[in-house]
C-alpha cells in the first residue's frame, strides 16, 4: 500500500459547492491518575516494557478489577465541564474483540450507559464567532497495550512476521468524548474541528485531569466525516479517520477527506464505510479495515464490576471543584490586562496566557509581561521548535526576571533598547537582568551634564530644526533626540533628552 500518493481529491471550494460536510469527533483522553483504571499499577509514561503490569491488567485467570475512585471523579468533572447530564446509575461493559493489544480479549468500556451524556462545548473561531458543538456522551474505558511490529520493512503491521506487545499502557484510564453530528459548518468545517479539539484540550488542562499531550498520545482524535448534496439535509456514508494526533492534523484531515469524498461522489461512486489512517508526513488518509462483522463487539455488562451510582451530593460537590471555564477566563483576563482583541489572540496562539498571568502576579505590568514574553523569546523558541513556556522553563528564564527587567526600566537605569540587550543576555544564559546589565555596562547616563552638553552641540549643529521648534513645531524634536541619543551612544534616556531639548528651545 502506498502512503505517498493519495486518491483523487477535489479542491476544497469545489467540493463545498456541491456538498455539505457533517463531522463527528471522538477524542480519547488518558487521565493523569497515579494508577490504572482497574488495578494499582502505575501509569508513568516511558517506563521499561511490561514493568507496570499485574494479573488484573494482564487478564490472568481469577484476577478481579476494582474501579479507581479518582478516575470516576475525573470522568464526572469532565462531564460537568462539558455541560453534560451525569448518570445516576451506570455500568461498565465488555467490548469483545480479538486483537493482541488487550490481553483479556476484551476492553472494559461503557456501552449504552455512559457516565455523562447530552452536553455541549462552545468553541470560538478566528473571526470571533462562536460555534456550539453538542456532546453525545463521555464514557469511561481503559487504554490498550502498544504493539511493535517486527519483520516488515518499516515497522508497520503490513508485512510483519510477528508483533511484540508492551502492556504498560493497557488499563490506563481513558475518557472517550463523542460529539453529536456537527452540521452546518460548511467551509468552516476544518476550523471548527480544530477549534473544538483545541477548546477541549484547554478545558481538560484547566480541569487538571490529564496532561493532554497530543504528541505523547495522551489525547487522541478520530475524525468521522461524511458529505451530503448541498442543502439536502441528508447524512452521507461516513469514514472514520484515526490517528489524527495534532491540532493542525485535525484541520488537515477534515480538509483532505472532504476533497476525497467529493471526488468519489461527483465521479458517480459511493463511499465505503471504513476506518482510514491519517499520515502526518504526507497529509493524506489511506484505507484501513473495512467495517465488517469483525467489529461485532458483543457488548455485555461487565460481571466483575458493580455499577457506578454517584449521588446528587457527590455530583454537586464535584461541580463545586470546577475551574473557571477557559473561554470566560480569557475574557476576564483580557479585560484585566487591557489587551486589544488582536493582542489577546496573539497571546493565546502563542500559549502565553499562563506565563503572563504568573508574570503579572509576580509584579510586572501586563504590557511589560506581554512585551517581554512575545518578542525575542518567541522568536528563539520558534527557531527551536518549542513553545515559549517550555523554552523559558528549559532555559530557567522566569517571570521574576521579567519583573526585574521592568524595574530596571521604570527605575531609570535602562532605556528600552538597553533593556532589550539585557534581555538577550538573560536568554543567552549570562545571568539575571541586573547581572547582564552590570556585565555589559548597560546604564543610562545619570549625569545630566553630559546629556545637556550633547543637547547643546546637537542644537548648534542643527540651527534650522532648532528654529522650527522655537516656532512651535514641537514634533520636529524627534530628529534632534535621535542625534542626541547617537552622540550619547544610546546611554541616555530619550524622554529626558526630549525634555532638555524642549526646555532649551523655550517649549519646556
Partner 1 sequence: MADLTRDDVAHLAGLARIDLSEAELDRMVGELGVILESVATVQQAPTDGVEPMSHPMPLVNVTRPDVVRPSLSPDAALAGAPDAEQQRFSVPRILDEE
The residues, any chain, with a CB within 8 Å of residue 45's CB and separated by 6 or more, are 216, 218
Whether the CB-CB separation of 403 and 362 falls below 8 Å is answered with: yes
Q: Is residue 359 close enough to count as binding partner 1 by CB under 8 A?
A: no
Q: Smallest gap, in angstroms, from Cβ of residue 119 to partner 1?
A: 23
Going residue by residue from 110 to 139, which x/- string records binding to partner 1, judged by CB under 8 A?
A: ------------------------------
CA nearest neighbour of 75 among 118, 139, 28: 139
Tell me the C-alpha distance between 288 and 133, whole Å.
Answer: 28
Q: Which is nearer to partner 1, 158 or 489 (CB)?
A: 158
User: Of 163, 246, 365, 432, which one interacts with partner 1 (CB under 8 A)?
Assistant: 163
Q: Is residue 164 close enough to count as binding partner 1 by CB under 8 A?
A: yes
Length of the chain: 508
Provide the 8-state DSSP code for 188.
G
Residue span binding partner 1 (CB under 8 A) among the ranges 160-168, 274-282, 352-360, 426-434: 160-168
Total residues contacting partner 1 by CB under 8 A comes to 59
Long-range Cβ contact pairs of 314-318 (< 8 A, separation 24 or more): 314/76, 315/76, 315/80, 315/86, 318/73, 318/76, 318/77, 318/80
Provide the 8-state DSSP code for 306.
P
Q: Is residue 17 close enough to count as binding partner 1 by CB under 8 A?
A: no
Going residue by residue from 439 to 468, which x/- string records binding to partner 1, judged by CB under 8 A?
A: ------------------------------
| Sign of the four-CA dihedral 204, 209, 215, 219 | negative
Q: Smallest gap, in angstroms, from Cβ of residue 299 to partner 1?
A: 12
Residue span binding partner 1 (CB under 8 A) among the ranges 50-58, 345-353, 368-376, 496-504: 50-58
Q: Which is nearer to partner 1, 143 or 406 (CB)?
A: 143
Distances (CA, A) of 278 to 133, 177, 190, 212, 253: 23, 20, 15, 20, 7
Angle at the Cα of 142 from the Cα atoms of 138 and 146, rounded to 5 degrees:
130
CA nearest neighbour of 255 among 11, 20, 24: 11
Tell me the C-alpha distance between 339 and 346, whole Å.
Answer: 10
Q: Smallest gap, in angstroms, from Cβ of residue 197 to partner 1?
A: 27
CA nearest neighbour of 68 among 160, 167, 158, 172: 172
Residue span binding partner 1 (CB under 8 A) among the ranges 186-194, 215-223, 261-269, 305-313: 305-313
Q: Is residue 495 close enough to count as binding partner 1 by CB under 8 A?
A: no
Q: Which is nearer to partner 1, 58 or 125 (CB)?
A: 58
Q: Which is nearer to partner 1, 39 or 426 (CB)?
A: 39
Going residue by residue from 56 to 75, which x/- string records binding to partner 1, judged by CB under 8 A?
A: --x-x-----xxxxxxx---
Q: Smallest gap, in angstroms, from Cβ of residue 380 to partner 1?
A: 39
Q: Is residue 288 close enough to count as binding partner 1 by CB under 8 A?
A: no
Residue span binding partner 1 (CB under 8 A) among the ranges 78-86, 263-271, 306-314, 399-407: 306-314
Q: Is residue 375 close enough to count as binding partner 1 by CB under 8 A?
A: no
Q: Smallest gap, in angstroms, from Cβ of residue 395 to partner 1?
A: 33
Provide the 8-state DSSP code for 152.
S
List the beta bridge partners of residue 120.
134
Q: Smallest gap, in angstroms, from Cβ of residue 363 to partner 1?
A: 37
CB neighbours of residue 158 within 10 Å: 9
CB neighbours of residue 264 within 10 Å: 19
Residue with cell 534650522: 464
Residue with cell 509514561: 45
Q: Is residue 291 close enough to count as binding partner 1 by CB under 8 A?
A: no
Residue span binding partner 1 (CB under 8 A) among the ranges 249-257, 298-306, 344-352, 464-472: 298-306
Distances (CA, A) of 225 to 8, 268, 394, 413, 492: 17, 19, 40, 60, 62
Q: Smallest gap, in angstroms, from Cβ of residue 316 to partner 1?
A: 16
Q: Smallest gap, in angstroms, from Cβ of residue 322 to partner 1?
A: 19
User: Of 149, 180, 188, 242, which one interacts with partner 1 (CB under 8 A)?
Assistant: 149
Going residue by residue from 410 to 429, which x/- string records binding to partner 1, judged by CB under 8 A?
A: --------------------
Q: Is residue 166 close enough to count as binding partner 1 by CB under 8 A?
A: yes
CB-based burial of residue 153 (10 Å sphere; 0-12 exposed, 13-18 middle, 19+ buried)?
Answer: exposed
Dihedral, CA of residue 472, residue 476, residue 477 and residue 478, to nearest 10: 160
Q: Which is nearer to partner 1, 2 or 161 (CB)?
A: 161
Q: Is residue 296 close enough to count as binding partner 1 by CB under 8 A?
A: yes
Q: Which is nearer to partner 1, 288 or 325 (CB)?
A: 288
User: Of 111, 117, 167, 373, which one interacts with partner 1 (CB under 8 A)?
Assistant: 167
- Cell for 453? 552638553
Q: Is residue 103 close enough to count as binding partner 1 by CB under 8 A?
A: yes
Q: Tell me which residues touch partner 1 (CB under 8 A).
A: 33-35, 39-42, 48-55, 58, 60, 66-72, 89, 91, 96, 98-100, 103, 147-150, 157-167, 293-294, 296, 298, 301-303, 305-310
Amino acid at each position: 500500500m502506498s502512503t505517498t500518493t493519495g486518491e483523487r481529491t477535489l479542491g476544497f471550494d469545489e467540493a463545498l459547492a456541491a456538498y455539505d460536510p457533517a463531522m463527528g469527533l471522538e477524542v480519547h483522553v488518558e487521565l493523569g491518575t497515579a494508577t490504572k483504571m482497574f488495578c494499582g499499577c502505575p501509569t508513568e509514561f516511558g517506563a521499561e516494557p511490561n514493568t507496570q503490569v499485574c494479573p488484573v491488567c494482564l487478564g490472568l485467570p481469577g484476577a478481579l478489577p476494582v474501579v479507581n475512585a479518582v478516575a470516576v471523579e475525573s470522568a464526572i468533572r469532565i462531564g460537568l465541564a462539558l455541560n453534560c447530564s451525569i448518570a445516576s446509575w451506570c455500568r461498565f461493559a465488555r467490548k469483545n474483540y480479538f486483537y493482541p493489544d488487550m490481553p483479556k480479549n476484551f476492553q472494559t468500556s461503557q456501552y449504552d450507559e455512559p457516565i455523562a451524556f447530552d452536553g455541549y462545548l462552545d468553541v470560538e473561531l478566528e473571526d470571533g464567532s462562536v460555534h456550539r458543538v453538542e456532546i453525545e456522551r463521555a464514557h469511561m474505558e481503559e487504554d490498550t497495550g502498544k504493539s511493535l511490529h517486527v519483520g516488515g520493512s518499516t515497522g508497520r503491521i503490513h508485512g510483519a512476521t510477528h508483533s511484540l506487545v508492551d502492556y504498560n499502557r493497557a488499563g490506563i484510564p481513558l475518557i472517550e468524548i463523542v460529539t453529536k453530528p456537527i452540521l452546518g459548518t460548511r467551509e468552516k468545517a476544518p476550523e471548527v474541528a480544530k477549534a473544538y479539539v483545541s477548546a477541549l484540550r484547554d478545558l481538560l488542562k484547566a480541569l487538571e485531569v490529564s496532561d493532554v499531550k497530543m504528541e505523547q498520545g495522551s489525547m487522541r482524535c478520530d475524525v468521522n466525516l461524511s458529505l451530503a448534496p448541498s442543502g439536502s439535509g441528508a447524512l452521507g456514508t461516513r469514514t472514520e479517520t484515526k490517528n489524527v494526533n495534532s491540532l493542525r492534523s485535525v484541520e488537515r484531515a477534515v480538509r483532505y477527506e472532504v476533497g476525497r469524498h467529493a471526488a468519489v461522489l461527483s465521479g458517480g461512486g459511493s463511499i465505503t464505510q471504513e476506518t482510514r489512517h491519517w499520515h502526518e508526513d504526507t497529509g493524506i488518509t489511506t484505507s484501513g479495515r473495512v467495517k465488517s462483522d469483525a467489529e461485532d463487539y458483543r457488548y455485555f455488562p461487565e460481571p466483575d464490576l458493580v455499577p457506578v451510582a454517584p449521588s446528587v451530593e457527590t455530583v454537586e460537590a464535584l461541580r463545586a471543584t470546577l475551574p473557571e471555564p477557559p473561554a470566560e477566563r480569557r475574557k476576564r483576563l483580557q479585560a484585566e490586562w487591557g489587551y486589544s482583541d488582536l493582542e489577546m489572540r496573539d497571546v493565546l496562539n502563542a500559549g502565553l496566557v499562563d506565563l503572563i498571568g504568573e508574570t503579572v502576579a509576580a509584579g510586572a505590568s501586563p504590557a511589560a509581561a506581554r512585551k517581554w514574553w512575545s518578542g525575542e523569546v518567541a522568536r528563539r523558541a520558534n527557531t527551536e521548535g518549542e513553545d515559549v513556556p517550555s523554552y523559558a522553563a528549559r532555559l530557567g528564564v522566569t517571570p521574576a526576571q521579567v519583573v526585574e527587567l521592568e524595574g530596571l526600566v521604570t527605575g531609570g537605569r535602562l532605556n528600552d533598547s538597553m533593556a532589550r540587550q539585557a534581555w538577550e543576555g538573560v536568554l543567552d544564559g549570562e545571568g539575571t537582568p541586573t547581572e547582564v546589565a552590570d556585565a555589559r555596562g548597560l546604564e543610562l547616563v545619570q549625569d545630566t551634564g553630559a546629556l545637556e552638553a550633547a543637547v547643546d552641540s546637537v542644537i548648534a549643529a542643527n540651527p534650522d530644526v532648532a528654529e522650527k521648534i522655537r516656532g512651535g513645531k514641537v514634533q520636529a524634536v524627534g530628529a534632534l533626540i535621535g542625534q542626541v541619543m547617537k552622540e550619547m551612544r544610546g546611554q541616555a534616556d530619550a524622554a529626558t533628552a526630549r525634555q532638555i531639548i524642549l526646555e532649551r528651545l523655550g517649549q519646556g
